[in-house]
Each structure stands twice: as structure tokens, then as C-alpha cells.
Amino acid sequence: MRIVDGALFVTDLPDSPHLSAHKIRAEVYLGYASDDPHVPDEELATMPNTMTAAGVNHTIEIYPQTEHGFVFSERPVYVKAASERHWETMLALFDRRLRQ
């Protein structure tokens, strides 16, 4: 499998990462900015159904009115409320799965 860009999970290539979702055994959290030039609209539309169809335990959130990098306070696109929600969700996943 080839990852072209860290965010391109859906491509038209035969080795597109989303085609291997059925191999995922871990719980997955995907937090997307609503305005991200690195994530095509097709990916936002495709990933929920892909993960569900593959039987992956997942949470997908698209944070409204955010841009790529919104979770980092050092960046000018930082959005405090969205960032806090993102970190809470991700750290809760880590707590559930890594403390076992």
C-alpha cells in the first residue's frame, strides 16, 4: 500500500488505502478539518461508508469552520473548541485501548 500524502486515504489507484479497510483490527478515529486542501471532498464522503462496510470500529468527525492544522495552538488556524474536542476524543481512544 502506498500513501501518497498523509491524508489521501481515497484515491483512484488500485492500491488506494481505503480498499484495505477490511484489514483494520484497531479502533480508528479520524478528525478532519472542514476546509482542508489536503483532503478531497471524495475522501470525506467515502470514508464513513468504507469504514462501516469493512466492520471497523470507528469515529469520524469533521470539524466545522476549521482548516488543516486547527488542533495546534502555535498555528494561525488554531480553533480552541475544535482542538479541545479533537484531543479529548483521541486521548479517550488511547485511554480505552492502550491501558488494557
Question: For the chain, which residues make up each domain, given as ranges?
Answer: 17-98
**Predicted confidence (pLDDT) at residue 2 exceeds the cutoff of 60:** no
Predicted confidence band of residue 5 (pLDDT cuts 50, 70, 90): very low
Q: Which of 40, 46, 1 has the alpha carbon at shortest distance from 20? A: 1
At position 36, the amino acid (one-letter code) is D
The SS3 call for residue 26 is: coil
Contact status, residue 47 vs residue 10, Cβ threshold 8 Å: yes
Q: What is the pLDDT of residues 34-86, one digit of tens each?
A: 999 988 888 889 999 999 999 999 999 999 999 999 999 999 999 999 999 99
